[in-house]
Amino acid sequence: MPSYTLLFDTRRVPEQNWGRILLLVLALECALTAGWEIFWRHHDFVPGDYEDTPAVWALQRERATGTATVLIGSSRMWEDVDLGAWQQTAGVRPVQLAIAGRNPQPVLDDLAADPLFQGLVLCEVTPYLFYVEPESFTTAFMHKGRAQTLSQRASNRIGMMLESKLAFIDSETRLSTLWKRLAFPLRSGNFPVREVPKGHEMHADRDTRMWRRIETDAQYRALFQGLWLFYAGGPQPTLEEKPASSATAYPGIVALVDRASARVANDVAKIRARGGDVVFIRFPSSGPVYWSESRGFPRFLSWEPLLARTGATGVNFADYPQLEGYNLPEWSHMSATDAPRFTGALASLIVRCIAHPDSKQGSPASCATNGSDFNGR
Amino acid sequence: MLFNSLTFAVFFAVVLGLHNLPLPWHVKKINLLVASYLFYAAWSPPFVLLLWISTAVDWKVAAWISATRDPARRKRILALSLVANLGFLGYFKYGTFLLDNFAVAARAIGMDYVPPKWDIVLPVGISFYTFQSIAYSLDVYLDRAQPTRRFLDFALFVTFFPHLVAGPIVRPTLLIPQFEHPRRATRTQLTWGLAMMTLGLFEKVVLADGFLAPVVDAVHQSAHEINCLDAWTGALAFSGQIFFDFAGYSTTAIGVALALGFALNDNFNFPYAARGFSDFWRRWHISLSTWLRDYLYVPLGGNRRGELRTYANLMITMLLGGLWHGASWTFVVWGGLHGAYLAIERWLQRPPGVLGTFMVVTVTWVFFRAHTFAAAWDLLKSMAGASGAAHEVLYWNDITVVALIVGAMLSAHWRMRSTRLETVVAATPAWMVVLVWTFMAFALIAEQGAGDAFIYFAF
């Protein structure tokens, strides 16, 4: 016989009163879990706030077919657009496919390559993410969502059932995350904010709101302001309004915009050929984030060449009084209270743009040039 | 299906319920077999076909071998099992590797050969179940065991879900006899099985995935050269991650089987308390190292054919053991280094101490974790403090948690090196058992777990 083979057929069980131990463990576990749930509910966490995972994204991607209205982009598309308010205005509930902090171009490619999709795509253009952020992160996210095994799909469904009932299921409350958030001294190579902290609440169909703590907790809000300023401004972020010029622009901006525009122009043409359409949206930002974005990505070097090259309709918040003046607590995203009102204004504007015959003919920024709301800025 | 998934929790509850119904033993075994196929198919249904082929081939091969005493004929029949099983492994696991290396060799002699793109998905666990299936044919061929009479028992032995995708690699002589008579866990076995599952999942979900994996990834994925402290932290974190990941899987598998009333063999025995490398391999992935010893090292002649041949056999066994882990030269080097350590230890007749063994094992893991030699060298250079403008990529949070977890792991291994988990638990006051079990279960719930695959699934 092989020397290793142990001819045993039972494993030793340690001598203990296992029945009583199991009962005590179960009782303590229930008490601790209940306490944990209560604790987090007292700290602004709520049931029905879902984790955004590739699996949840993939579920929504399956709905993006036919003449669906599809939202792509990053966190501004999440938090600024309220799906219910859009539905009220436009009569159709959009499919939310934005991915926070990621370049949306691979999602646009994917929709353009899908012969079953002939709907309307609303694409967020947040300069740094749209022109600079590597696409590989988006591609990996999409692939992970689609390459799920049957088991992973089932786990995702069960997980969502639990998330609908339990507030503590959130990546922010994990033990490992709590440890990461402990205030140890920083080392020389460390970025002050390690990972983007919780900034939103997400519902089952990825309808998303700004998390209430950002609005109520000034210190927490300041954390985000620092973060967005870091990401927004490129090489010359600014805390005060300063003029934008070619000299303040992100290095290599012309080539970056040219490359991105050529690529999305191809996607826009494909979607339009099937009877669909693409509208680019520049969502509001304010204060130092807006100043920094404007200096890093001046409108004449980024937004306008994009529309000219693609021939697509574009809605830039700065062109419409009805899209300005909302509360952006951390200078970058809409407050939960203002998101429905902003969405209503945006939806009615876009419905009017799309209905306008010029917008189908591919004249650049036709919505702006032909719309009565253009204020000439 | 992953043990650390919600699907598995539901699946296991159903299987456990069915197994405890008053049904005939034959029906219960069919339930377990069907459940095992479902367990595998939940990852990729088409690859169940491979399991069926492997099972059918070795079932017939063993029967044919046992029906003849003609050595030449027995050898030819055995070759059928080896060709089928190793053929699957070769195609799915080493196909791309072989083709790429062939292309490199062809270019070296001036041939302009570009290999076709070969996008093969590796069937999960193929290295484990093919080895287990081959062991059955080899045992019969070597007259170490008689073939079983029931196909159902053999199919269940190959497919039994607790060990199917990442071991322990179970010997036929251990598991097949357990399917002959009705088995159901006693209440104490069920409870201890659940406790072992909690321990295994705690190791995997909380320690390996939650705390150590992000540190390892940060170090190995850094685009810059990193400084010495970060490099050592990353290397030590991987020593912890690979142990908690794989030992966690094995402990969970043993607990799952025990909760159903079956006994699986241990796969780890506090390996970081090993004194020397032969001791390490008696404690690390025991079911693979003993498989390699019994079915490769011993048939090659082991230590019975002189010193030189013994060293050669050691190297061959460890090089192939390295290659078993993955189709990459970095795994071969990792195996080769361990072969060299074993040879040197044998030559010197003096093993290094516990800490020395651990440090060498940790440095050698660099080749196991790095995807390329360049990445491995970069990290080794950083560990030696020879990097130029080295970056600090880790936070003090990371360094502290790695120090705490790896320190606790080493001290636990040291304390447990001459005893068993069961002995220690039996000697622990009941209230302490309650507290520790509750803590681990609560940490599991609080960490939530992202359902990351076990590292050894890829082997």
CB burial of residue B231 (10 Å; 0-12, 13-18, 19+): buried
Domain extent at residue A295? 63-161+197-370
What is the distance between the alpha carbons of residues B403 and B391, in angstroms, rounded to a whole number? Answer: 20
Q: What is the enclosing helix (H) or strand (E) of A119? A: none
Which of B183, B205, B226 is a domain's end point?
A: B183
pLDDT value, residue B271 = 97
User: Which residue is closest to A188 within chain B, CA to CA?
Assistant: B392
Using CB atoms, which residue from B187, B294, B395 is nearest to A190?
B395
How far apart (Å, rounded) are the C-alpha atoms in residues B333 and B353?
23
Rounded distance between C-alpha atoms, residue B38 and residue B48, angstroms? 9
Token pair in block for residue A35: 């306490």
A130 to chain B, any CB pair closer than 8 A? The answer is: no
Residue of chain A whose alpha carbon sits nearest to that of B178: A9
- The Cα B309–Cα B287 span in angstroms is 24
Q: Measured between alpha carbons, how far is A319 from A373 in angstroms, rounded to an integer?
A: 8
Binary contact (B206, A175; C-beta < 8 A): yes
Residue B178 has its nearest CB partner, among A9, A154, A168, at: A9
pLDDT of residue A5: 43
pLDDT for B337 equals 96
In Å, the largest CA–CA distance within chain B is 72
Q: Give the minimum alpha-carbon distance from A164 to chain B in angstroms, rounded to a whole number.
A: 15
Instruction: Calculate the average pLDDT of chain A.
Output: 87
Looking at B183, B216, B241, the residue that finishes a domain is B183
> Which of A10, A149, A187 lies nearest to residue B42, judging by beta carbons?
A149
Per-residue confidence (pLDDT) for residue B253, from 0 to 100: 97
Q: Do A138 and A99 touch, CB atoms closer than 8 A?
A: yes
Q: Domain of residue B161: give its range.
A: 21-183
Please tell me the distance in Å from B111's CA to the nearest CA on chain A. 35
Could you please report the per-residue DSSP string of A3-64?
SS-----S----SS-HHHHHHHHHHHHHHHHHHHHHHHHTTT--TT-----HHHHHHHHTT-
Q: What is the pLDDT, as a whole number, of residue B100? A: 84
Do B45 and B152 have their domain in common? Answer: yes
Sheet holding A120-124, edge to edge: A95-96, A69-72, A120-124, A277-282, A313-316
- Asked if residue B141 and residue B39 are part of one domain, the reply reads yes
CATH number of the domain encompassing residue A337: 3.40.50
B121 and B229 together in one domain: no
Residues B94 and B241 in one domain: no
Is B321 part of a structural domain of the chain? no
**pLDDT at position B453:** 57
Say yes or no for a CB contact (<8 Å) between A187 and B258. no
Closest residue in B to A2 (Cα) is: B294
Domain for residue A53, yes or no?
Answer: no
Nearest residue in B to A173, CA atom: B446
Same domain membership, residue B226 and residue B359:
yes
| Among the listed residues B389, B456, B390, B379, the one whose alpha carbon sits nearest the alpha carbon of residue B129 | B456
| Cβ–Cβ below 8 Å for B210 and A4 | no
- Kindly state the greatest CA–CA separation across chain A: 90
ipTM of the complex: 0.90
Residue B76 falls within a domain, yes or no?
Answer: yes
- Residues in chain B within 8 Å Cβ distance of A56: none
| Residue in A with minimal Cα distance to B176 | A9
Q: Which of residues 161-180 of A touch B (CB under 8 A)?
A: 162, 168-169, 171, 173-176, 179-180
Do B74 and B177 lie in a common domain? yes
In B, which residues are within 8 Å of A162 by CB distance?
6
Chain B CB within 8 Å of residue A147 CB: no
pLDDT at B261: 95
- Token readout for B206 is 């909380």
Residue B451's pLDDT is what?
57
Across the interface, of A14, A180, A189, the residue whose CB is closest to B192 is A14
pLDDT given at position B450 = 64
Tokens of B192: 């201890």
Q: Identify whether the C-beta of residue A205 lies closer than 8 Å to the C-beta of residue A83.
A: yes
Lowest model confidence (mean pLDDT) among A188-197, B387-396, B445-454:
B445-454
Q: Quick one: which of A162, A164, A161 has its CA closest to A203? A: A164
Which positions in chain A touch B281 (Cβ < 8 Å)?
Answer: none
Examine the domain organization and report whether B270 and B361 are in the same domain.
Answer: yes
Residue A44 located in a structural domain? no
pLDDT tens-digit series, residues B391-445: 899 999 999 999 999 999 999 999 999 999 999 999 999 999 999 999 999 999 9
With DSSP H G I counted as helix, E B as strand and the rest as coil, what are the percentages for chain A, rounded to 5? 50, 10, 40
Residues B247, B160, single domain; the answer is no
3-state secondary structure chain B: CCCCCHHHHHHHHHHHHHHCCCCCHHHHHHHHHHHHHHHHHCCCHHHHHHHHHHHHHHHHHHHHHHCCCCHHHHHHHHHHHHHHHHHHHHHHHHHHHHHHHHHHHHHHCCCCCCCCCCCCCCCCCHHHHHHHHHHHHHHHHCCCCCCCCCHHHHHHHHHCCCCCCCCCCCCHHHHHHHHCCCCCCCHHHHHHHHHHHHHHHHHHHHHHHHHHHHHHHHHHCCCCCECHHHHHHHHHHHHHHHHHHHHHHHHHHHHHHHHHCCCCCCCCCCHHHCCCHHHHHHHCCHHHHHHHHHHHHCCCCCCCCCHHHHHHHHHHHHHHHHHHHCCCHHHHHHHHHHHHHHHHHHHHCCCCCHHHHHHHHHHHHHHHHCCCHHHHHHHHHHHCCCCCCCECCCCHHHHHHHHHHHHHHHHHHHHHCCCCHHHHHHCCCHHHHHHHHHHHHHHHHHHCCCCCCCHHHHC
Q: Provide the shortest C-alpha distance from residue A38 to chain B (in Å).
A: 13
Domain count, chain B: 2
Instruction: Report if residue B406 sits inside a domain.
Output: yes
- Cβ-Cβ contacts under 8 Å for B112 (sequence gap 6 or more): B106
Q: What is the pLDDT of residue B455?
A: 60
Adjacent-strand bridge partners of A94: none
Q: B393 and A154: CB-CB below 8 Å? A: no
Residue showing tokens 């069937």: B123
Nearest alpha-carbon partner for A331 in A245, A223, A242: A223
Cis peptide before A14 (omega within 30 of 0): no
> How many domains does the structure of chain A reveal?
1
- Out of A190-194, B136-140, B192-196, B262-266, least confident range: A190-194
Q: Does A1 touch chain B (CB under 8 A)?
A: yes
> Which tens digit of pLDDT belongs to each residue from B75-104?
999 999 999 999 988 888 888 888 888 888
| Residue A192 touches chain B, beta carbons under 8 Å | no
Size of interface A-B (CB pairs under 8 A): 166
Asked if the Cβ–Cβ distance from A33 to B445 is below 8 Å, we say: yes
Spatial neighbors of B60 by CB under 8 A, at least 6 apart, are none
Please, which residues 22-81 of chain A have a Cβ atom closer than 8 Å to chain B?
22, 24-25, 28-29, 32-33, 36
**Is A13 part of the contact surface with chain B (CB cutoff 8 Å)?**
yes
A50 domain-assigned = no
Partner residue opposite B395 with nearest CB, options A150, A169, A194: A194
Would you state the pLDDT for residue A283?
96
A6 touches chain B (CB under 8 A): yes
Nearest residue of A to residue B198, measured between CA atoms: A25
Q: Are B77 and B166 part of one and the same domain? A: yes
Check A171 against B448: CB less than 8 A apart: yes
**B270 in the Ramachandran plot: left (φ > 0), alpha (ψ -120 to 50) or beta?**
left
Is residue A211, in this structure, part of any structural domain at all?
yes
Out of B396, B422, B426, the one facing A187 most closely (by C-beta) is B396
- Nearest by CB to residue A22, choosing from B44, B191, B263, is B191
Chain A, nearest residue to B142 by Cα? A1
Out of B183, B204, B223, a domain closes at B183
Q: Is the same domain home to B218 and B362?
A: yes
pLDDT, tens digit, 9 for 90 and up, residues B209-255? 999 999 999 999 988 889 999 999 999 999 999 999 999 999 999 99
Please state the pTM of the whole predicted model. 0.89
Residues of B with active-site annotation: 325
Is residue B254 exposed (0-12), middle (13-18) or buried (19+ Cβ within 10 Å)? buried
Q: Are residues B75 and B105 in the same domain?
A: yes
Cα–Cα distance between A97 and A79 in angstroms, integer?
A: 12
What is the pLDDT at residue B150?
A: 93
Which residues, at least 6 apart from B292, have a Cβ–Cβ distance to it below 8 Å? Answer: B317, B320, B321
At residue A2, the pLDDT reads 43
Question: Residues B64, B103: one domain?
Answer: yes
